[in-house]
Amino acid sequence: MSTPHPNIVKEQCFHCGEDCENEAIRFDDKAFCCQGCKLVYEVLAENELCAYYDIESFPGESQKAKNSRSNRFDYLEDENIQQKLLDFKNSEESHYTFYIPLIHCASCIWLLENLNQIHTGVIGSRVDLVKKKVQIRIAHEKITLKELVQLLSSLGYEPKINLSDLDGKQKPKADRKTINRLAVAGFCFGNMMLFSLPEYFSERELLGEGFQGLFNYLNVLLSLPIVFYAANDYYLSAWNSLKRKQINMDVPIVMGIIALFLYSLWQIFIHQQAGYMDSLGGLLFFLLLGKIYQQKTFATLEFDRDYKAYFPISVTRLNKDQEEVIVLTKLEVGDVLLVRDEELVPADCILLSDEAYIDYSFVTGEEVPVKVKKGELIYAGGRQRGEKIMLTVQKSPSQGYLTDLWNNESFEKDKAEGLVPLSNKISAVFTWTVLGIAISALAFWAFTDLSIGVKAFTSVLIVACPCALAMSTPFTLGNTLRIFGRNKFYLKNTQVIERIADINAVVFDKTGTLTDTANASVTFHGAELSQKSKSILKALVEHSTHPLSNRINQWLGAFESEKLDNLKEIKGAGLQAAYLGQDVKLGSVDFTNSELKNPIESGNIVCFSVENQLIGFFEIQSGLRADSSDVVRELAPGNELHLLSGDHSHELRTLSAKLPEIKEYRFDQSPKNKLEYLQQLKGTGAKTMMIGDGLNDSGALHMSDVGVAITDQVSHFSPASDGILDAQAFGQIPKFLAFAKSTQRVIKASFGLSIAYNVIGITFAVQGLLSPVFCAILMPLSSISVVVFTTLSTNILAYRHGLLTLSKN
């Protein structure tokens, strides 16, 4: 093959942007450097996905050399490897999560989330840009794991699969490109300052004209890597913004760079002056330094992942036939677990019991339970429906994976726009305003002193810092999320904090929320229970996670439970099973078809019947939580308080005397009634917070603006909840609400701080009193000031609200 003539300009590949080394491959009036890039274009064109190329210039990766090894992914045919990479699998679909380092822009996200249009075997995909991860659901009858990875690789997004790290979390590496650009900018800036020292110390005349010109030309050479390499990210960001007919914060920075560079060239080559090349070098150096600082700060704080470290999943482990409740982090491969009805399976496990009915709605959205037989695998995130089961752990559990399931979009609510969109709107208006001021300053000074005009124009564009506005909200809410987590209040995301700040109505469930089963007294009325009856009762209540069942279970003490058939729980009613062909029930009066000769006026009634014949009933006097009265009293001044309960109204008189601040009491409420009541409240314009047990109240939790599941053992929380509150932190609810409202003031104060900084900076800049390099130093300093201000302010407020102590800080 002949070598191209050196004077011939090489064509750029339409897909990846690389120069075509040999003669370009022509297809559809476009040039491609290799068959791989042409293939990717054909795939996208066939599926009408060429909008991919409109989002960012050359977002793909060159496919050279990748097609030469067709067997590179053969190891993915190994079943053991597939099992390690697998997140979930049923008869129809499989779920995988890949770390893809090349994910970096909007076009990457767009293409990877449209894989289902390229291959029918892909059901859906979701990209996490921060973690550079993509979660993909496939129909394994249509596409294999190997074929999926080959598809991703052919598109230029090959997953990084490190077999030694399959059981751990793969984390994105540091942004090496930004670091390299900073190094280049720093080297050039340092030498530019060296050549420009005579200018600063008024010793220019001592150099002679020859050296003066030489140093100026050397500064021009040193500016080229800065302008054409170090500033590339700003050019791309500004260009993509303009293509979408928008103006982002990088547009004025790019205008400042171009103006400073062109004016300096004019000064050096036309007027034989020094120009501002050293200022240009300092500008890029400090901008990139500030950018790396922001990246490092966000990576350290990890706002979107930080709360997972506090995620309080607890599990019941069997140790020498003794039950012990432990946190998820202490669970190891090989441990034997006991999972009751409605509890979550915390890790991939093998079933030791005869059978189980697993609800994978957490994972797939499908609520129909799947029957699993002894020896089969149950995936993390499944919820047991039915009798308690025994499992043995096969894969190390991941709090991050379970939290991803908690954040499943199937359970997301419609959220009103909050302060995050507000900051984006302010930034957009701010940028247009800055452009107008900069152009006006240039026009004003152009008639008297053009050099001052260019200096003022550039300084205004650089000193103005809308990024400080954009950073105030995520840093404030992120630190608030961390403080809540320290106090055992675990929220899905930062948007929940904004909704908490707007709450004006709080709705409580009664049993297990305002009342504490540990403070309850249990009395059985009826014939004395035989050992057999107690064993049957034990089997019934062991099946349930309801607070009343737990209290009866404690009252019964250590009994070996009987084997029951068709055991099931009817939400809001009770438990039902068959024993030796007889129908056994434990629950409400109506559910057990019982008639009480001497109805009691207080406490909860739980009836025990066999073949619809009443054996007796439990009278459970609910004891209020120690902090209930204080919580209700502190919340009353700013909120309407409501109580909903599935129990009868026996305790109305007692509760209303102890909790007079509650506006409305509703008893005999089914889960559907609770949901409808929340709908009615929202219809009146109330901003509601529902606090319940997370299971019977799942509908109401989802309907409320903020749903909080309170629990002692959080292995059975509801995905409908926005937050999980450890029962030990119940007394701090008023503090949480007050603190959430305070954080809004911190955000608004940080907005004010940023605006004040910009007003002062622009005032001096339009007068030509600030040099561009000084403005470049001020820009990251403004971001640092916002981070320091928001972090210190939220910590101080948390300390004042009693949510943070000096030892914790």
Could you give the CA distance from residue 571 to residue 718 in angstroms, rounded to a whole number?
Answer: 14
Could you give the CA distance from residue 89 to residue 112 in angstroms, rounded to a whole number?
Answer: 21
CB 706 within 8 A of CB 723: yes
Q: Is the pLDDT of residue 578 over 50?
A: yes
Q: Own/partner pairs for 548-555, CB < 8 Å, 24+ apart?
A: 548/511, 548/517, 548/604, 548/606, 548/620, 549/575, 550/517, 551/517, 551/520, 551/522, 551/620, 552/522, 552/606, 552/618, 552/620, 554/517, 554/522, 555/522, 555/524, 555/618
Query: Looking up tokens 């034990």, which residue turns up?
Result: 538
pLDDT at 392: 92
DSSP class of residue 540 equals: H
Q: Is the pLDDT of residue 736 over 90?
A: yes
CB atoms within 10 A of CB 626: 12
Average pLDDT over residues 310-333: 74
CB atoms within 10 A of CB 637: 8
Could you tell me how far CA 634 lies from the centroid of its own chain? Answer: 31
What percentage of the chain has pLDDT greater than the value 70? 74
pLDDT at 65: 43
Query: Looking up tokens 């990246």, which residue turns up?
Result: 295
Could you give the CA distance from residue 632 to residue 734 in angstroms, rounded to a whole number?
Answer: 9
Could you give the CA distance from residue 179 to residue 638 in angstroms, rounded to a whole number?
Answer: 51
Q: Is the pLDDT of residue 659 over 90?
A: no
Dump the DSSP string for 56-83.
SSS-S---TTTTT-TTTTGGGG-HHHHH
Average pLDDT over residues 517-526: 78
Domain ranges of the chain: 1-62, 74-165, 176-302, 482-513+625-739, 516-624
Between residues 642 and 305, which one has the greater pLDDT? 642
pLDDT at 352: 92
CB burial readout 556-577, b (16+ within 10 A) else e:
beeeebbebeebebebbebbbb
Q: pLDDT (tens digit, 9 = 90+) per residue, 508-517?
A: 988 778 877 6
pLDDT at 113: 83
Q: Is the pLDDT of residue 200 over 80?
A: no
Q: Is the pLDDT of residue 427 over 70?
A: no
Nearest by Cα to 708 from 723, 697, 718: 723
Indicate the SS3 state at residue 804: coil
Dump the DSSP string for 728-774.
GGGGGHHHHHHHHHHHHHHHHHHHHHHHHHHHHHHHHHHTT-S-HHH
Q: Own/partner pairs for 314-322, CB < 8 Å, 24+ apart?
A: 314/713, 314/714, 314/715, 315/339, 315/346, 315/715, 316/340, 316/713, 316/715, 318/390
Q: pLDDT (tens digit, 9 = 90+) per residue, 250-271?
A: 777 787 788 778 878 877 887 7
Query: What burial class does residue 177 get, using C-beta atoms within 10 Å of its C-beta: 0-12 exposed, 13-18 middle, 19+ buried?
Result: exposed
CA dihedral sign of residues 228, 229, 234, 236? positive
Q: pLDDT (tens digit, 9 = 90+) per residue, 139-185?
A: 988 899 988 988 888 777 888 876 544 444 444 455 678 888 889 98
pTM above 0.85, yes or no: no
Of 135-144, 459-468, 738-747, give the lowest mean pLDDT range. 459-468
Q: pLDDT (tens digit, 9 = 90+) per residue, 672-704?
A: 888 889 989 988 989 999 998 766 677 788 888
Between residues 156 and 304, which one has the greater pLDDT? 156
Domain 74-165 falls under CATH 3.30.70.100: yes
Question: Which helix (H) or strand (E) segment is 110 a member of?
Answer: helix 106-112
The values of phi and psi at residue 389, to 5°, are -130, 155
pLDDT at 190: 85
756 HSE (CA, 13 A, CB side): 8
Q: Helix H segments across 547-596? A: 547-556
Between residues 220 and 67, which one has the greater pLDDT? 220
The values of phi and psi at residue 120, to 5°, are -65, -15
The values of phi and psi at residue 737, to 5°, are -65, -45
pLDDT at 653: 79
pLDDT at 469: 63
DSSP class of residue 344 equals: B
CATH tag, 482-513+625-739: 3.40.50.1000
Label the pairing between strands 664-666 and 640-644. Answer: parallel
Nearest by Cα to 751 from 500, 480, 475, 503: 475
Could you give the CA distance from residue 705 to residue 526 in angstroms, rounded to a whole number?
Answer: 44
Could you give the CA distance from residue 669 to residue 281 in angstroms, rounded to a whole number?
Answer: 70
pLDDT at 770: 75
Label the pairing between strands 688-692 and 664-666. Answer: unpaired
Nearest by Cα to 2 from 25, 18, 22, 26: 22
Nearest by Cα to 582 from 541, 617, 527, 536: 536
CB 227 within 8 A of CB 265: no
Query: Looking up tokens 């090489």, which residue turns up?
Result: 10
Query: Looking up tokens 């946190």, which residue turns up?
Result: 327
Between residues 397 and 613, which one has the greater pLDDT? 613
At 717, is the pLDDT very low, low, confident or very high (cuts 50, 70, 90)?
A: low
Q: Is the pLDDT of residue 420 over 60?
A: no
At 53, is the pLDDT very low, low, confident or very high (cuts 50, 70, 90)?
A: low
Average pLDDT of the chain? 77
Average pLDDT over residues 398-404: 64
pLDDT at 780: 64
Could you give the CA distance from residue 551 to residue 604 in angstroms, rounded to a whole number?
Answer: 11
Average pLDDT over residues 81-99: 83
pLDDT at 735: 94
Indicate the SS3 state at residue 36: helix
CB 110 within 8 A of CB 51: yes
At 3, is the pLDDT very low, low, confident or very high (cuts 50, 70, 90)?
A: very low
What is 516-624's CATH superfamily? Answer: Calcium-transporting ATPase, cytoplasmic domain N (3.40.1110.10)
Q: pLDDT (tens digit, 9 = 90+) per residue, 496-507?
A: 888 899 999 999
Q: Helix H segments across 464-513? A: 466-486, 494-501
Average pLDDT over residues 264-293: 76
Q: pLDDT (tens digit, 9 = 90+) per residue, 592-621?
A: 887 776 666 666 788 899 888 888 888 877
Could you give the CA distance from residue 577 to residue 39 in angstroms, rounded to a whole number?
Answer: 61
At 66, is the pLDDT very low, low, confident or very high (cuts 50, 70, 90)?
A: very low
Dump the DSSP string for 393-418.
E-S---HHHHHHHHT-GGGPPP----
Average pLDDT over residues 739-759: 85
What end-to-end distance do the CA atoms of the chain give, in Å?
69
Query: Looking up tokens 């320091």, which residue turns up?
Result: 788
